Structure 1
Amino acid sequence: MEFNNLHQVLRSLYDEMLPLSADMAAVAKGLAGLGALFFVALKVWQALSRAEPIDAYPLLRPFALGLCIMFFPTIVLGTINAVLSPIVQGTHSILEDQVLDLNDLQAKKDLLEHEAMIRNPETAYMISDAEFDKKLDELGWSPSDIGTMATMYMDRHTYQIEKLIKEWFRNLLEILFQAAALVIDTIRTFFLIVLSILGPIAFAISVWDGFQPTLTQWITRYVSVYLWLPVADLFSSMLAKIQSLIIERDIEMLADPAFIPDTSNTVYIIFMIIGIVGYFTIPTVTGWIIQAGGAGNFSRNIHQTAMKSGNIAGAGAGSAAGNIAGRLINK
């Protein structure tokens, strides 16, 4: 619940910082006006120098961008956010449904595991005080019985210590998992705030002849960063679904009275580690949805460089192995 509150703080931060884009509109309007003057003068001069009729349609572009700059928070950001917001809400509802099912299955599995350990005489005394006292009452005070008591006490304390260590490690991984999600959300919010505040400047620069791609790049980068959250929710939903399937299988196995449960939660820990690593691939995956420059291309360049290095190393190792094999055959 604490991490959910932090995510809500980031949402509120974005909403609070969004009106600051209007403050940049004054600077952007001056820059766009100067760019429109040169743009229109250049197009008119080119038409007059070639003795061609003046095409008025391309000359409307600077004025359309000027209107977008004047009403940037409402027209531009409001429209883009309104279009993309249903995607965020849809993926978040999918995540909530998967997490709710996972929590119900986990509670059912914990109950069945406790009942299975109670049924097993070899493990019942380690988790139940009543079974432990009952087993002590059955023993006498002979040297062998005293040794058995000492073993029981040691097994019980060892089980409790192992359980505490596993719970501590599990809680640590859960914190790291939530921290990875929070890191992605914080970087996403920072990028969106920067793009929103400096958006009017990008629109103004795109008025100038030769800088028209700036407008397209700004839109693609904003949409790409905005989609980080839906992709993260889908990734979390996938992990929750995998864990639900594993828990369902464990519940079926626990239905067998002879089955002894494994309380190590190894599979859960493995998927938590996968989730921590997988969260940092979200910018790259989002770059596949919409082509954008910036962080997405940077991540792809890193992966491509690593793959090329691996191919070169593999080719070198294969060549060296082939030479050694050839020499051995010749001998």
Structure 2
Amino acid sequence: MNFDQFHETLRTLYEQMMPLCGNMIGVSKGIAGLGALFYVAFRVWQSLARAEPIDVFPLLRPFAIGLCIMFFPTVVLGTINSIMSPVVQGTHGMLESETFDMQRYAEQKDRLEYEALRRNPETAYLVDNAVFEAQLDELGITDAGQIAGMYIERGLYNAKKAIQEAFRDILELIFKAAALVIDVIRTFFLIVLSILGPLAFAISVWDGFQSTLTQWITRYISVYLWLPVSDLFSTIIARLQSLMLQADIERMQADPNFSLDSSDAIYIVFLIIGIIGYFTIPTVAGWIIQAGGMGNMGKNINNTATKAGAVAGGAAGAAAGNIGGRLLGK
């Protein structure tokens, strides 16, 4: 599955939904205009009642907010997105670089493992069909037991590799799906905040609701940062996997008989950690810029992460027990 295509589709969806915020501009201008009337009238009357000079500068606030509402898609959203876009591009570039290195080391490791098994006369028939058929041709009818043993050994080896690859593919699928879930929730929040943004700006004109403006801005930026934080987390996981692959390659080059079972188990553990870690991204983004009113959302996501980790851990234990049972049977 091409998960990059799904992420690109979400970005296209966000861009296509942005014009819908224009539908709220008309209603928001009416609310903001009425709020500005009461805002200015109250302060002018207060100054006249106290026989004080009228301070004009604070009275410009509703007019500035009104201009932001009128040109909301270009002035507000365009400014914030243009400022934050380099952060997204920078973290995504880091992720692509680390992913390319990880894939390169993974291919080198698989090649070294194949060559190590092929060089060993006792294990060459497990991975090389030509060697397997040549050894079968050398055996006669009286060696039926040895022939059956070779078929059993080869079948167990292929079954073990198939189970490991299948389980690894499942965990990698869940790992990528967790990143997609975060991106889907992020896109949904950004669309809602963008469409209803003019309304939030209009309400902030009224006395007692001034904090609505700053809360909208902080929440929008906090949610927008989910993608850079997600890319940074994926970069760290990819870097850890690259270091693990480098260590395995060095050990394989130094010791041809080095077993990869332990490294495969560690790789699976890191995938489970990564699945759980993806759901901590909203919390980390909240550390960068404090956005109030999102505590319950973070709690729900953390509960989901706990359940996902339990499912992944249970699947890991079941698969490990299955592989261990097959090895003991062998």
> Which category describes the TM-score, using the shorter chain as reference length?
0.7 to 0.9
Aligned match of 1:41: 41
| 76-85 vs 167-176, which moves further | 167-176
Q: How far is 1:178 from its partner?
A: 1.3
1:201 has 2:199 as partner: yes
Aligned match of 2:109: 109
SS in 2 for 1:122: coil
Q: How far is 1:267 from its partner?
A: 2.1
CA deviations 1:249-271 (Å, max 9, x no partner) are: 11111112542332572222211
Cα 1:155/1:302, change in 2 over 3 Å: closer
**Distance (whole Å) between structure 2 residues aligned to residue 106 and residue 302 of structure 1:** 32
Q: How far is 1:94 from its partner?
A: 0.2
Contact 1:116 1:261 in 2 (8 A): no
**Distance (whole Å) between structure 2 residues aligned to residue 135 and residue 141 of structure 1:** 13
**Distance (whole Å) between structure 2 residues aligned to residue 134 and residue 260 of structure 1:** 26
Q: How many residues align?
A: 301
Q: Please list every run of 5 or more consecutive structure 1 residues that lacks an aligned counterpart in the other structure.
A: 304-331
Q: How far is 1:121 from its partner?
A: 2.6
Counterpart residue type for residue 124 of structure 1:
A
Q: How far is 1:133 from its partner?
A: 2.1
**Distance (whole Å) between structure 1 residues aligned to residue 165 and residue 255 of structure 2:** 26
Counterpart residue type for residue 51 of structure 1:
A
**Distance (whole Å) between structure 1 residues aligned to residue 129 and residue 258 of structure 2:** 20
Counterpart residue type for residue 232 of structure 1:
S
Name which of 243, 254, 259 aligns with 1:256.
254
TM-score normalised per structure 1? 0.87
Aligned match of 1:52: 52
Q: Please list every run of 5 or more consecutive structure 2 residues that lacks an aligned counterpart in the other structure.
A: 303-330
Q: How far is 1:166 from its partner?
A: 1.4
Q: RMSD of the TM alignment (CA)?
A: 1.7
Question: What are the within-5 Å matches in structure 2 for residues 157-172 of structure 1?
Answer: 157-172=155-170
| 113-122 vs 277-286, which moves further | 113-122
Contact 2:36 2:206 in 1 (8 A): yes
CA deviations 1:122-149 (Å, max 9, x no partner) are: 321111112212322343433xx32221
TM-score normalised per structure 2? 0.87
Aligned match of 1:328: none
SS in 2 for 1:121: coil
Question: What are the within-5 Å matches in structure 2 for residues 122-141 of structure 1?
Answer: 122-141=122-141
Q: How far is 1:227 from its partner?
A: 0.2
Question: Which protein has the larger Cα radius of gyration, Structure 1 or Structure 2?
Answer: 1
Aligned match of 1:269: 268
CA deviations 1:217-239 (Å, max 9, x no partner) are: 00000000000000000000000
Counterpart residue type for residue 266 of structure 2:
V
Q: How far is 1:296 from its partner?
A: 4.8
SS in 2 for 1:270: helix
Contact 2:31 2:202 in 1 (8 A): yes
Query: Percent identity, aligned pairs only?
Result: 62
Q: How far is 1:96 from its partner?
A: 0.4
Moved over 6 A (4+): 300-303
